A and B are shown apart, each in its own frame.
Chain A
C-alpha cells in the first residue's frame, strides 16, 4: 500500500495511563456489589450502635432514632435500602451462578432481571418511605 497515505502523527496527547477496562454486565454487577457491600457494612456499624442505645434509656434512643426521621436522612435511607436491595438481589444471582448448573450461562439475563426487580422494588418502596418521611409528622 502507498506509504504516503499513512504518515505518523507524532502528537502525544496527554491521556490517562491506561484505559478503563470495558467489562460487561458481570464486571459492573461485581463493582456495584462491592460498593454496596462496603456501604452497607458501614451503615450497619452505625445502626447497631444506635440500637445499643436502646439499652441506655428510651430518651436517648428516641433522640438518636429521631435523626432518621429528618428528610435528609430519609433520602439517605432510601439510598441505603436501594443498596441493600441491589446487593441482596445480586447476591442471589451470584449464588445461582455458583450452585445452579445453568447459572453461568444465564448470568447476563439474570443481571437484567436483578435490575428490573430492583427497580420495581424501589418504585414500590421509595414513594411510601419518602411520603412517610416528608409528610407532616404524626408520630412523636
Chain B
C-alpha cells in the first residue's frame, strides 16, 4: 500500500431502523459456532477417523448412515448452520474489503445466491434421499436394500 489513505467520508449514513442484522448476526455466529463444533467434529470423526476413514466413504456408507433419521437431522442441521454461518462471515469480509458499491453488492448477492441454492439442494437431498434407488447395482447400495426390495 503506497497510496495515502483516503479521508473518512464526512457524514455517517443514517442508521437504518428495523431489525438489527449486525447484532443478530454477531449472536448467530457464536450460537451456530458452538453447535457446529459438535456437529462438524462428530461428522469428521465418523467419516474420516473411525473405521477405514475416507476410504470407507461411498454411496453405500452415506446411504447406510442416512437410513437413520438421526444422521439426516444431524447433517441437515450442519448444512443450514454452516452455510448461514459461512455466508454471514463472508458478508462481513466483503463489507470490510470491497469498498466499491457495485462490487460490494455483487459479491454479496453472489454469496447469498450460493448459500440459498446450496441450502435448497442440500435440504432436498437429505430429506428425499432414497438409499435404495431402483435400478442401481446392488453392490453399491447398503446391505439393507436387499431386505427391503424383497
| Residues of chain B having any CB pair with chain A under 8 Å | 1-3, 30, 33-34, 36-37, 40-41, 44, 48-49, 52-60, 62-63, 79, 82-83, 86-87, 89-90, 93, 114, 118, 121-122, 124-125, 128-130, 133, 136-137, 140-141
- How many interface contacts (CB-CB < 8 Å) are there between A and B? 124
Assess whether A69 is in contact with B36, with CB atoms less than 8 Å apart. no
A44 to B63, CA, bound (A): 20
When distances are taken between beta carbons in the complex, the residues of chain B under 8 Å from A57 are 133, 136
Interface of A is mostly: helix
- With A16-B2, A37-B89, A139-B52 given, can you name 5 additional A-B contacts, CB distance below 8 Å? A52-B125, A55-B124, A91-B36, A92-B33, A125-B48
30 residue pairs A–B, Cβ–Cβ below 8 Å: A37-B90, A38-B93, A44-B86, A45-B118, A48-B83, A48-B122, A52-B124, A54-B62, A54-B129, A55-B130, A58-B59, A58-B63, A58-B141, A59-B140, A65-B57, A65-B59, A74-B54, A84-B44, A88-B36, A91-B33, A91-B36, A92-B33, A98-B30, A128-B49, A128-B53, A129-B48, A129-B49, A132-B53, A135-B55, A140-B55
